[in-house]
Structure 1
């Protein structure tokens, strides 16, 4: 297990290094003169040249990247020239709210999708299975912004049950302290994931239902509920664990849409505002953070699957 973890850590580090290089060079290709972007189009050429020289933007891009890696190793993510704040501070101030929103959406999606997928597998090709599959396909094909607008139109306009705007509290626990204001953002974020999770769970449960250990359990006369919860569920959830790890960037991208749609002060809204302002240090840090979360999600998922099924560790 130690060798497996060490190998996965090395691979994760190399992937993150590649992500940082690609994002860094792509952002520098967007604008040849960061000073012009920061100071504006009306700034004199002398002022732009002086800004680029002071911040090292006049050096070769490779040299800038090496310096960036050195600062990154010290925990320095740079400084937002538009907001005149440390990028790490900006991310830290907004990360808690976005994390809680993503976590609430993920938990809600799993609570609905896991039993739904098992139910579909048990009731294969019956009315429940066909209806749930059709609804899942429709929800999966529905863009998050359209779904959010539909929820606002129904539950905020036609039936004034929930507010159209998310809570503006800066507390990361706002999902729990003001659930009414956060209901629509959480539901919007969870619905698409429910569609994906339920279908994966259904396929995995169908595969497990045909295994010998299920037949043996039924031949022993064990209650169906006990077979499903104690024997089938653990093995059927293994592919779902991996899927949850790979969906971390999807949740992060979903936050962009949900936070913008419901005006929720989180990382997604910070990214969109920085994109409009062409605030490259914030964009670079956010994209790199997305890469870190993606790699970390896959790493944790691999460890969880290896811990649940020792054969996976031995085969790698």
Structure 2
């Protein structure tokens, strides 16, 4: 297993390198000139050139990338043009908030989809299956930004039982207050994932229920619920673990939209603020860290798959 995990970590290195190249190129070739934020009216051309030299903008692209990568590897992502604060410091402030709603959405979608998928797949064609299938069709079709706005209107504006924006209530500093603010963003971010996972688990349950080991267990008088819980569920989770890893990209991009809808102070909101202000160092840092979160999420999914499937562990020993 350790050998398998080591191989996965080694595979992450070239991916992270390519991500750094693309993120640097994306920002470098974007319209605009970063030196304009430092140039004031009345400056001479010589003074403007000095500013460009100090920022390294007159160096070849490869040299600029090399300098940026060297600093990034040492934890120095530069300073924000907009607020003059360190990029790394701002990102580390916002990252926990983003990880909270991302982790919460994964956990919620898995719990709900396992329950619904087992209930639907064990009763194919019955009313429970039809109701759950209808829910999954709606969940897949719902635009997340629209669904989030509807939740705010219902639970924050009309019923007033949940906060509709922010992460803290003014003057309140408690874990429950943070969790209460996180409910709507987590539900919004998890709705489409829950629908997809439910459909995959349903189809896997239907397939597994026709296997010989299930028929043998039923013939021996083993309760159907025990078979589902002890045997079928484990085999059904394998494709879902793969799906979670594949959906990490949409989860990261979705958090950018959801955080702005709910005023959630996370990495997505910080990234969009940097784009709006053309804050190039902050944009590069936010894009790079978002990609690293995606890579780390896929690594965790691979590790979970290795734990769940003994064949992967045996392959790692060869």
Q: Shared fold (TM-score greater than 0.5)?
A: yes
Change (3 A) 1:174 1:141: farther
- Corresponding residue of 1:122: 122
- In 1, Cα distance between the equivalents of 2:188 and 2:41? 42
Q: Which residue of 2 aligns with 1:7?
A: 7
Q: 2: CA distance between counterparts of 1:115 and 1:43? A: 68
For normalisation by structure 1, the TM-score amounts to: 0.90
Contact 2:271–2:287 (Cα < 8 Å) also in 1: no
1: CA distance, partners of 2:30 / 2:310: 47
Shift of 1:168: 3.6
TM-fit CA distance, 1:98: 1.6
Partner of 1:92: 92
Report how many aligned residue pairs link the two structures. 314
The residue aligned with 2:38 is 39
Report how far residue 249 of structure 1 moved: 2.6
Residue 20 and residue 235 in structure 1: after superposition, are their counterparts in 2 closer, same or farther (change >3 A)? same
Aligned equivalent of 1:65: 65
| CA 6–105 in structure 1, closer or farther in 2 if over 3 Å, else same | closer
Once the two structures are superposed, the pairs formed by residues 120-269 of structure 1 within 5 Å of their partners are 120-168=120-168, 176-269=176-269
Unpaired runs of 5+ residues, structure 1, are none
- After TM superposition, the score normalised by the length of structure 2 is 0.90
Deviation string for 1:217-268 (max 9, x for gaps)?
2122111111111111111111111222232232222221121111121111
Q: Which moved more, 1:306-315 or 1:263-272?
A: 306-315
Q: Whole-Å Cα distance in 2 between the matches of residues 186 and 278 of structure 1?
A: 29
The alignment's C-alpha RMSD in Å is 2.4
Alpha-carbon distance, 1:181 to partner: 3.3
**Secondary structure at the counterpart of residue 228 of structure 2:** helix
Against the structure 1 CA distance between its residues 41 and 199, is the aligned structure 2 distance closer, same or farther, given a 3 Å change threshold? farther
Partner Cα distance (1:144, 1:112) in 2? 18
Q: Which residue pairs with 1:82 in the alignment?
A: 82
Aligned to 1:54: 54
Cα distance, 1:309 vs structure 2: 1.5
| Greater than 6 Å deviation, 4+ residue runs | none
Q: Which 5+ residue runs of structure 2 have no aligned equivalent?
A: none
By how many angstroms is 1:169 displaced? Answer: 5.8
106 and 5 in structure 1: CA distance in 2 versus 1, 3 angstrom threshold: closer
What are the Cα deviations for residues 270-292 of structure 1, in whole angstroms up to 9, with x where unaligned? 11111100111111111111221
Distance 1:156 1:219 in 2: 52
Kindly state the Cα deviation for residue 10 of structure 1 after the two structures are TM-superposed.
Answer: 2.0
